[in-house]
Amino acid sequence: MVCLMGGGASRLYSAVTLSGSSRSSLPLPPSHLDSQSADTNLDPDFCKRGSTVCPHDPAELLQQCKDALRESPPRFHRKFINLFVEDSTPSSPIRMMQWNVLAQALGEGLDSFVQCPLEALSWSHRKYLIIEEILTYRPHILCLQEVDHYYDTLQPVLAGLGYSSNFCPKPWSPCLDVEGNNGPDGCALFFDQSRFELVDSISIRLCAMRIPTNQVAVMTMLRCRITEKCVCVAVTHLKARAGWDWLRSAQGSDLLRHLQNLVQKHPGAPTGDPSSDIPLLICGDFNAIPNEEVYQRFVTSPLSLDSAYKKLSKDGLTEPEYTTWKIRPTGECCTTLDYIWYSQELLRVDTVLDMPTEEQIGPNRLPSFSYPSDHLSLVCDFSFKEKE
């Protein structure tokens, strides 16, 4: 069963995904590729009136962000850890960035970050931190979750920097329950058009027991303009909260099945390579710690996947201690939920951005005046492995 975007949800779906909710059925927002809503008000701090994109010089835009944040604490200083040996310096690496940016409506409305000042949660502050983070690392492929400022800010700003993108909103986003919201949150996948050309892109609702759930994914097939090799990229955000392990596991299995189908749909890179030679890059906030079933499903998948951030550990087998660190009324949460999965037989991890220390993050944890989200960005450089 292919659970593509569109259509309503069954009563059984409501029972599985929205237990206890009285929210009425809402029409599914459309998924767009490089589209701009006609009635969208573009962010005036970044975009000129009457324009559908915000053309920028990257250096000037980064300076604009720094100027807007000059009264704020400095951003985290993070270093790239080189994993390759000197005689195997990667040629034309692919930079990948994974980040749950924290939906604005959730940050100000539902997530209750009790140690974070309200001023630090304002969009007028956070938007500069988000753009600054992206510009600092300039990924070729950018995978984001909890995006609720796609049409007015992220899409036009990044389009002005040369990125093409696809956005898939959640069918029943919790952002819609917040007064003054900016629309539903969802997953967005951006890619640098100077480095990649689009081959195919699909947005799906993830299924569990053949029932469409409230979680989505964007899957995109890209062709590298330098190597002419294809890579299949996915971004997702699995079901949150304790007690939903089984649902996350089912959603992860459904995503893997869809990715396998997409790769098999495109058996021919320009050289006629078989589908097994198209590597996967899967980014997401899985809402699952490493000992959960969905994580194990990815580890044991016949697609031969591995988690890139394990490379930071001494043994290469252990995930970071945390990718999210926050304080809510229920207590402090410091754990790993975010991952970049890759085809280990076809791709090599060349560099990994290290994690900020507890001292850098500070006693009030995340988000803060110096960091806009409760999740940390993950950034890796990959290169294609040469056939033996």
The pLDDT of residue 48 is 78
pLDDT of residue 202: 96
**Looking at the chain, which runs of residues are DSSP E strands?**
32-33, 80-82, 94-100, 141-147, 163-169, 186-192, 196-208, 211-224, 230-237, 280-285, 305-307, 324-328, 331-335, 338-343, 347-353, 378-384
Nearest to 244 by CA among 297, 287, 296: 287
Work out the angle at residue 144's Cα, subtended by the Cα atoms of residues 138 and 149, and round it to the nearest 5 degrees.
100
Q: Which amino acid is at 231?
A: V
Q: What is the pLDDT of residue 266?
A: 84
- The letter for the amino acid at 180 is G
Provide the H-helix boundaries in 138-276: 155-160, 245-265
Q: Which two tokens stand for residue 197?
A: 């050309």
For 40-105, give the DSSP string: ----TTT--TT-SS----HHHHHHHHHHHTTTSPPPP---EEE-S-GGGPPSSPEEEEEEE---HH
pLDDT of residue 87: 58
Cα separations (Å) of 76 from 79, 216, 353? 10, 31, 12
The model's pLDDT over 327-365, given as tens digits with 9 standing for 90+, comes to: 999 999 999 999 999 999 999 999 999 999 999 999 999
d(CA 206, CA 215): 6
CA dist 360 → 333, 363, 364 (Å): 17, 9, 11
Amino acid code (one letter) for 69: L
Q: What integer pLDDT is reported at residue 50 of this predicted model?
A: 67
pLDDT at residue 88, as a whole number: 63
What is the pLDDT at residue 242? 93
Is 323 within 8 Å of 348 (Cβ atoms)? no
Cα 157 from Cα 165, distance rounded (Å): 11
- Per-10-residue mean pLDDT of the chain, 388 residues long, equals 38 36 37 45 85 81 96 95 73 94 92 92 97 98 98 96 97 94 97 98 96 97 96 98 96 97 75 67 98 97 97 94 96 97 96 97 96 98 86
The whole-number pLDDT of residue 268 equals 53
Q: Pull the structure tokens for residue 299.
A: 């580890």
Give the SS3 label for residue 27.
Answer: coil
Cα(382)–Cα(176) distance, integer angstroms: 37
Is the CB of residue 132 less than 8 Å from the CB of residue 69?
yes
Residue 1 to residue 210: CA distance in whole angstroms: 7
